[in-house]
Amino acid sequence: MSKKIPVGTALAILFVVMAATIAITMKISMGVYNHLISDLSERSAMYDGIAEVDKLTREKFNGTIDSENVYSGLAAGFVNGLGDPASFYLTPAEYEVYNNKLLGKMSGTGLTAAYNTETNQLLVTSVAKNSPAEASGIAVGDVITKIADIDVDFENYAELASNLEGQKLSNVNVTYSHEGKSNTVNLVMGYSLQSVTYRNVGTIGIISITGFYENAINQFKDAIKALTEAGCKSLIIDVRNCDEGTIEYATKVLDILVPVATEGTAAMATVVNAEGKTIKTFPSDSESVSMPMLVLVNGGTKGPAELFACDLRDFGKAQLIGTKTKGVCTMQQLFRLSNGGAVVLTVANVLPYTSEGINGTGVAPDYIVKLTAEQTAQIGIMSDADDPQMQQAFTLLAGDSAEGADGYEG
């Protein structure tokens, strides 16, 4: 049986509800308004500051103002000001190189080199089979003295070495010393850059990854196949100083090694936004590689390489040797700009298979093996015998007897 409410009481309740609703709405509106005003105030102050610099420069600067360079400088400064090591600005030319490298479309001469600070020489560290470099007669251990007809020294070697890769059919002059004899050759870019190289020492396969680009997936598969066919019983995967690529490509390489993910979120990696909401996962399939593995890491191991190393341990597939990784495990997104350039911005955090988030903390190795500053500078140049981290791996795999055994490279 229902009870009737007097009209006066009903109206009083209605007015109270309306008043409460208006109060809540006003509070929310004022909060939004104040936030907008704060943003507008900050933006206005920023724009005023830039306008002031622009006005002073145009009035006082004794030189020519290159508007394109100014724009690039402003954009780069804005992104750098975020304080995020994984976010950066790309000029139109840099964007083209960056995008081609991610897609595995960069060509090169087929050689890699590293600077030996002890001898002050740029040494050839690898020469790919069937590459322009191999055809020219360049061999591992040769000393590169000139690139693009410019003498190589410690100050310019990194910039000059970038000329060893580029668009297909472009070319570069390289002068090198082989067994004491100087030679100059013109190398044409006609070889797909290697993200993955491999070799064996006895029955131990050693795979080095320089970046998790799209071409790393098939190159890694080829490395596993070749090393298995060569009779390798264990693997050392070197991701020291590996700091480029994407999470997506890293998980695809990882999927070659690990079985189906069943713990945690049942994904090799989980991408979460600022609110902690899952926006993407990377599941794995049932195929995996069953052999003992060790992973070499250091402070230069960053981003996709950190996830790769952490997940291999989470899956119980490998232990880590070296020093703590960089601690930058986030997902980036590329945004094109109207000038043809782009900005790469961090848009989410990435969580490993079962470990806690490693962004900001890094991944601690199971076996801490430190290198001297000189040894760190020689990674990629040092012989296995002079590399304490590699020697620790050989010992753990009971492979020190394989040291010096005949091997091959790919």
Report pLDDT for 404: 36
Report pLDDT for 191: 72
Q: Hey, what amino acid is at 108?
A: G
Cα–Cα distance between 198 and 232 in angstroms, integer?
Answer: 12
Is the torsion defined by CA of 307, 201, 380, 192 positive or negative?
negative
Cβ(271)–Cβ(250) below 8 Å: no
Report pLDDT for 62: 87
Residue 200 pairs in a beta bridge with: 205
Q: What angle, rounded to 10 degrees, do the helices at 247-254 and 304-314 form?
A: 30
Those residues of the chain that have pLDDT short of 70 are 1-38, 167-169, 399-410
Cβ(296)–Cβ(240) below 8 Å: yes
Report pLDDT for 34: 57
Cβ(225)–Cβ(256) below 8 Å: no
Burial of 320 by CB count in 10 Å (0-12 exposed, 13-18 middle, 19+ buried)? buried
Burial of 363 by CB count in 10 Å (0-12 exposed, 13-18 middle, 19+ buried)? buried
Helices (H), 145-279: 157-161, 215-229, 247-254
Q: Are strands 107-108 and 171-178 parallel, antiparallel or unpaired?
A: unpaired
Residues 6+ apart with CB under 8 A from 340: 92, 95
Domains of the chain, start order: 107-192 (2.30.42.10), 196-401 (3.90.226.10)
Q: What is the pTM of this model?
A: 0.77
Report pLDDT for 232: 96
Report pLDDT for 164: 87
DSSP 123-138: EEEEE-TTSHHHHHT-
Q: Are strands 88-90 and 342-351 parallel, antiparallel or unpaired?
A: antiparallel
Q: Would you give the distance in Å from CA 136 to the centre of its chain? A: 31
Cα–Cα distance between 302 and 19 in angstroms, integer?
Answer: 56
If one counts every other C-beta atom within 10 angstroms of the C-beta of residue 80, the result is 13
**SS3 state at 385:** helix
Cα–Cα distance between 376 and 381 in angstroms, integer?
Answer: 10
Q: What's the token pair of residue 373?
A: 């500053």
Helices (H), 112-193: 132-136, 157-161
Report pLDDT for 33: 52
